[in-house]
Amino acid sequence: MTKLAAILVGCAAVLCCISYNQKASGLMQKDKTIAYKIEASQLRHVVLFKFKDSATAGDISTVEQAFSELPALIDEIKGYEWGINNSPEGLDKRFTHCFLVSFDSEADRSAYLPHPAHLAFVEVLKPHLDDVLVMDYWN
């Protein structure tokens, strides 16, 4: 009976391993996708703006346009997108605009920050800006 119990336990263990491996291989497929993203990771530069109450729609449009021109002027920018907050949560602290600028490296970001086109954009922005929040992360 001991041999039979040992065989049954062994079979159960093998079945568990097969089942686990099938699940793991499904996760592995997801991990491969994640691994691809890690290999092709980019530095994300997130910028949030809160505009002054005195900023007009035209002022804000000028800022949006000026920021949107930066990817054509700065080679280090590898990706760019932006949008206006539409969260229903009410946690935005009056930040209305989010810009996401992507770089391949920290060196590229370092070249972007003092770039004359970026500094010129900041001068367009400053008169209308109440507050800014910047966060960077690797995706």
**Where residue 61 falls among pLDDT bands split at 50, 70, 90?**
very high
Task: Identify the bridge partners of residue 33 per DSSP, sorted by sequence position.
Answer: none
* pLDDT (tens digit per residue) in 96-125: 999 999 999 999 999 999 999 999 999 999
> Cα–Cα distance between 110 and 67 in angstroms, integer?
17
State mean pLDDT over 87-101. 98
Query: Global pTM?
Result: 0.72
Instruction: Give tens-digit pLDDT for 25-51.
Output: 333 344 544 444 445 799 999 999 999
